[in-house]
Chain A
């Protein structure tokens, strides 16, 4: 066989590890990117990673509570996207830039 032997059922730790990788990539995007919209999308990526952990533990404990929590996370993300994109539009209207380093009024 060219492939290594796979277990018959996916271990729960694989899901948790995937979630950790996605969360770390979200953190990296949040820290390294300079475009404010890309930073916002990195936050959405982190929220998605946390949702995956909730659903995986919900499977493990055979209870529906994790689904409810990830549902609430989705609702909060939707509200956050609406308000955050409104803020981005206002910033762009006032300063004509999306670069976060150029929005530095409080620094001076």
Chain B
């Protein structure tokens, strides 16, 4: 009887494949709604990868904030503006034949660098790091990172002001 394959790399490969296929679909689709749904797929599979890395709080925040709030805002705007299929332009012919080799070259360079410099370490197993719950995040956020946390609240306040100013009639 053959031994079953190890669970962690299999789960990683499944959800990494879903993420990459969804990201390609985001770039290739011409309708904004299809792109938005592909982005939801990327975010959901990334949430599973965060769980594999032991980041429970970030995985929950990813699903609630990104896949919940931000994507609803995007789809709301797409529906509100009745955005249709993107018009094809012939200006991007240079990008079409030069872009894919440059993209492949960049990925090859990145994989070479990552494999030569960062391939050490024991690897990632589920449960290898358990310090990613709400308790540890909250403790670090309110002691070490208290000042950035407060500055972030000011940032959100300014963003609210900006959204209100942009929503006025006479701009």
Contact = CB atoms under 8 A, between A and B. Distances in A.
Given A1-B2, A10-B12, A83-B163, A18 B145 contact: no
B58 A70 contact: yes
Nearest to A40: B74
A66 B46 CA distance: 15
A58 B55 contact: yes
B86 interface: yes
Interface string A69-108: 0111011111111110111111010100011010000000
Contact of A28 (B27, B35, B114): B27
Contacts of A29: 26-27
A65 B140 CA distance: 8
B152 A22 contact: no
Interface of B: 2, 5-6, 8-10, 12, 16, 19-20, 23-24, 26-27, 32, 35-36, 39, 42-43, 46, 49-50, 52-55, 57-58, 61-62, 65-66, 69-70, 73-74, 77-78, 80-81, 83, 86-87, 89, 91-92, 95, 99, 103, 106-107, 110-111, 114-115, 118-119, 121-125, 128-129, 131-132, 136-137, 140-141, 144-145, 148, 152, 155-156, 159-160, 162-163, 166-167, 171
A54 B74 CA distance: 25
A7 B132 contact: no
A48 B66 contact: yes
Contact of A15 (B42, B53, B61, B125): B53
23 contacts: A9-B8, A9-B9, A10-B9, A20-B111, A24-B110, A25-B20, A25-B23, A28-B99, A29-B27, A38-B35, A51-B62, A55-B50, A59-B53, A62-B129, A67-B58, A68-B145, A72-B148, A80-B159, A85-B77, A89-B167, A92-B81, A98-B83, A101-B91
